[in-house]
Amino acid sequence: MMRKSLAIAFICLLSVPAFAQEYDMKKAPVVRNKLNFRAGRHELSPGFGMTLSDSYFRNIIMSVSYDYHAMDWLNFGITGGYALPIKTGLAQNIEDEKTTDTAAYSIPATHLGVVANAHVGFTPLSGKFLLVGAAVVHYDLHLMGGVGTLQVLWNSEAAGDVAADDEFVIAPVFGGGIRFFVDRGISISVDVVDYFGNMYTAAKDDLPGEVTPPDRNWTHNMAAMLTVNFFLPFTIKAEED
């Protein structure tokens, strides 16, 4: 019985090389081919998003980023944008409560204007999967960190009562997200980016017409961003895993 088992195993081992020669690797599933989507490519990314967990003003951000991918896992870039403020429900309720028949109340709080940063990005994970059993979707998970600047603007309706000026502040910036390639030169990214700045956020009004000078606080300005990414050159080369 032992001899028979060894003979069967020996025959199986001899058949492996023949099978490998007959099998055409070019006909292997698509997961056998590796496409280099990032290294040596330029990336231009218009984006749209908004800040999260704001007390008084939601900041709607429009931005444009440029990145150069020195390696498949390493990129350097810059981002510039501008934010438009929208009052939150809390701010609107406070203003309604404090508004009288003779005087309208405007909340003495800040919102963002210009937002910009210079950053370094990392792509620790990338891969692909089959969608609906046929379409191949390439993706990556990426992280970024750098130094940015924020323009901090007071509510224009209450700025005259605030003992502080608009200003630019330096802010560390960090974030991360996921990207899906819809083509070899176009992708869509969903990211969360945080500007952590020592800035004015709101002033306290003690008496009608009097506002206490505000204090700066280290504040997270976290934003969810949706971007469309255009890569150049548009074509890429396939590599074997």
* Residues near 147 by beta carbon (within 8 Å), at least 6 away in sequence: 117, 118, 119, 170, 171, 172, 173
CA atoms of 185 and 225, how far apart (whole Å) = 20
Which pLDDT belongs to residue 53?
A: 87
Contact 205, 212 (CB under 8 A): yes
Q: Is the pLDDT of residue 21 over 70?
A: no
Asked whether residue 13 carries a pLDDT value surpassing 50, the answer given is no
Q: Where does the pLDDT of residue 25 fall: very low under 50, low under 70, confident under 90, or very high at 90 and above?
A: very low
Q: Which range (19-23, 178-182, 207-211) has the least confidence?
A: 19-23
What CATH number labels 29-240?
Answer: 2.40.160.20
Model pLDDT for residues 114-170, shown as the tens digit of each residue: 999 999 999 999 999 888 777 889 999 999 999 999 999 998 887 677 777 889 999
* pLDDT tier at 210, thresholds 50, 70, 90: low
Q: β-strands 217-232, 210-212: how paired?
A: unpaired
Confidence of residue 238 (pLDDT cuts 50, 70, 90): low
> pTM for the full model?
0.80
Mean pLDDT along residues 179-186: 93
Contacts of 58 (CB under 8 A, 6+ apart): 50, 51, 85, 86, 87, 88
Please report, for the chain, the start and end positions of each structural domain, with discontinuous segments joined by +: 29-240
Does residue 121 contact residue 67 with C-beta atoms inside 8 Å?
A: yes
Tell me how far apart the alpha carbons of residues 120 and 148 are, in angstroms, rounded to a whole number. 12
For residue 7, the model assigns a pLDDT of 52
**In the predicted model, is pLDDT for residue 32 greater than 70?**
no
Through-space distance between the first and last CA atoms of the chain, rounded to whole angstroms: 42
Strand partners for 189? 179, 227
